[in-house]
């Protein structure tokens, strides 16, 4: 509720009215205040005086000083200090969001820690050195160009995929996609270099390989190479779209002993885990970027950051922690 505190001038008037033996209601009417405000002011800031403390006295300057002292104590004490600021700064440099910083259980975190909104406010006010809002993830709308690469209608439809995949109760269900270089216009890519990406639905583990083109053979070999070292229990299904780069699905099924399923046309949400992970990758490789200017080592460094960053959907555990727990339980 909005209200205005009494001023020193109003307190001087109250003192004068009290000497004139005015009633509380008369004082309130003259000052255009609620009678409760006047009553509370006199009760809080008067003091006993006289023989046997039988009289009360109200001094406006003393009352104003008491008010100022109470105001100093009514605000929550700031918890900003060097260790807290340094901890937040280090995590933001690792591309953690304020939500992940606050909710991740960490024994190195200071005991008194700010809230998510407070961290944002500190960043806006410049309390965290060398950190600004541009270091946080930002989302923007964009116009997607028309699809021109062609599609095929072979393979198993996603409707035949086991129902257990949808509930994320079991491990080993992957989603595949490609991430391309930026475009000079709506049709011409800056280069043929692209990424093949795989995301595991339950743990959100994210795998990426940098490849020179999006040909069927190149993409097929990349998927096999990314998954070949995992046990069979960790590769139960793979879901992708109907782009021609996935036309080698039979070879993938044979090499990895798995099943591949294809999402319906224009239904990217059917492999939303991978789409979301690709969005995280775009923080480091924006849509306008020519992917030929990166290298495999740089890509793997980015993946370490993403797979070791806590996720809200995982109760602030990391994808690596969840996936390694699964491998330990199923394969030892």
How far apart (Å, rounded) are the C-alpha atoms in residues 242 and 149?
A: 10
* 173 pLDDT higher than 90: yes
Give me 181's structure tokens. 């270089």
**How many Cα atoms occupy the beta-carbon half-sphere of 315 within 13 Å?**
3
| 322: enclosing H helix or E strand | helix 319-330
Do 131 and 89 form a contact (C-beta atoms < 8 A)? Answer: yes
pLDDT-wise least confident of 10-24, 111-125, 126-140, 223-237: 126-140
pLDDT at residue 141 greater than cutoff 60:
no
pLDDT, mean of residues 109-129: 89
The answer to which of 3-12, 42-51, 142-151, 235-244 has the lowest mean pLDDT is: 142-151
Residues of the chain by 3-state class (helix, strand, coil), percent to 5:
45, 15, 40
Mean pLDDT to the nearest integer, 177-185:
91
Angstrom distance (rounded) from CA 220 to CA 237: 15
**Do the beta carbons of residue 206 and residue 279 sit within 8 Å?**
no
3-state SS record for the chain: CCCCCCCHHHHHHHHHHHHCCCCHHHHHHHHCCCHHHHHHHHHHHCEEECHHHCEEECCHHHHHHHHHHHHHHHCCCCCCCHHHHHHHHHHHHCCCCHHHHHHCCCCCCCCCCCCHHHHHHHHHHCCCCCCCHHHCCCCCCCCCCCCCCCECCCCEEHHHCCCHHHHCCCCCEEEEEEEECCECCCCCECCCCEEEEEEECCCCCEEEEEECCCCHHHHHHHHHHHHCCCCHHHCCEEEECCEHHHCCHHHHHHHHCCEEEECCCCCHHHHHHHHHHHHHHCCCCCCCCCHHHCCHHHHHHHHHHHHCCCEHHHCCECHHHHHHHHHHHHCC
Q: Which two tokens stand for residue 241?
A: 């779209």
- DSSP β-ladder status, 194-200 and 206-211: antiparallel
> What is the C-alpha separation between 198 and 190, in angstroms, rounded?
23
Reported confidence tier of residue 1, pLDDT bands at 50, 70, 90: very low
Q: Identify the helix (H) or strand (E) that includes residue 166.
A: helix 164-167
When pLDDT is averaged across residues 243-252 and rounded to a whole number, the result is 93
Specify the range with the lowest mean pLDDT, choosing from 20-29, 95-104, 141-150, 285-294.
141-150
Q: Model confidence at 49, in pLDDT bands (50, 70, 90)?
A: confident
| Residue 302: per-residue pLDDT | 96
Q: What is the pLDDT of residue 111?
A: 85
The mean pLDDT of 210-217, rounded to a whole number, is 95
Q: What is the pLDDT of residues 256-315, one digit of tens each?
A: 999 999 999 888 899 999 999 999 999 999 989 999 999 999 999 999 999 999 999 999
The answer to whether residue 186 scores a pLDDT higher than 80 is no
Contacts of 71 (CB under 8 A, 6+ apart): none
Mean pLDDT, the chain, rounded, equals 89
Contact 322, 202 (CB under 8 A): yes
- Does 139 score more than 50 pLDDT? no
Please write the tens of the pLDDT for every residue from 147-159: 555 566 678 999 9
Q: What percent of the chain has pLDDT over 70?
A: 92
Evaluate if residue 166 carries a pLDDT over 60. Answer: yes
Give me the pLDDT at residue 2, please.
59
DSSP letter for each residue of 200-260:
ETTT--EEEEEES---HHHHHHHHHHHHTTS-GGG-SEEEE--BGGGTTHHHHHHHHT-EE
Predicted pLDDT of residue 249: 94
Mean of pLDDT values over 194-213: 96
> CA 331 to CA 182: how far, in whole Å?
41
Q: Is the pLDDT of residue 137 over 80?
A: no
Is the four-CA dihedral 89, 92, 97, 100 of positive or negative sign?
negative
Q: Is it the case that residue 75 has pLDDT exceeding 60? A: yes
pLDDT at residue 332, as a whole number: 61
What lies within 8 Å, CB to CB, of 180 at 6+ separation is 189, 194, 214, 291
Q: How confident is the model at residue 73 (pLDDT cuts 50, 70, 90)?
A: confident
């Amino acid at each position: 509720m909005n209200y205005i505190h009494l001023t020193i001038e109003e307190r001087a008037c109250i003192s004068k009215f009290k000497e004139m033996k005015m009633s509380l209601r008369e004082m309130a009417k003259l000052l255009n205040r609620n009678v409760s405000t006047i009553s509370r002011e006199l009760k809080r800031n008067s003091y006993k005086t006289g023989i046997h403390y039988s009289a009360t006295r109200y001094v406006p300057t003393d009352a104003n000083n008491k008010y100022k002292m109470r105001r100093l104590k009514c605000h929550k004490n700031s918890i900003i200090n060097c260790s807290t600021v340094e901890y937040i700064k280090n995590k933001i440099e690792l591309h953690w969001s304020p939500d992940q910083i606050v909710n991740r259980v960490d024994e190195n975190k200071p005991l008194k820690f700010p809230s998510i909104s407070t961290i944002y406010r500190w960043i806006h006010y410049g309390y965290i050195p060398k950190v600004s809002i541009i270091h946080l993830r930002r989302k923007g709308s964009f116009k997607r160009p028309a699809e021109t690469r062609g599609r095929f209608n072979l393979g198993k439809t996603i409707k035949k995929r086991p129902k257990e995949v949808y509930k994320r109760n079991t491990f080993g269900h992957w989603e595949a996609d490609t991430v391309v270089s930026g475009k000079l216009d709506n049709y011409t890519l800056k280069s043929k270099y692209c990424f093949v990406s795989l995301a595991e639905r339950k743990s959100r583990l994210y795998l990426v390989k940098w490849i020179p083109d999006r040909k069927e053979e190149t993409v097929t070999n990349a998927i096999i190479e990314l998954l070949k070292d995992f046990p069979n229990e960790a590769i139960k299904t793979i879901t992708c779209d109907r782009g021609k780069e996935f036309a080698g699905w039979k070879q993938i099924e044979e090499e990895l002993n798995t099943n591949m399923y294809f999402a319906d046309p224009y239904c990217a949400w059917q492999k939303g885990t991978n789409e979301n992970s690709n969005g995280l990758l775009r923080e480091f490789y924006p849509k306008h970027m020519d992917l030929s200017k990166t290298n495999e080592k740089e890509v793997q460094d980015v993946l370490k950051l993403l797979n070791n960053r806590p996720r809200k959907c995982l109760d602030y555990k990391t994808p690596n922690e969840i996936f390694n727990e699964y491998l330990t339980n199923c394969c030892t």
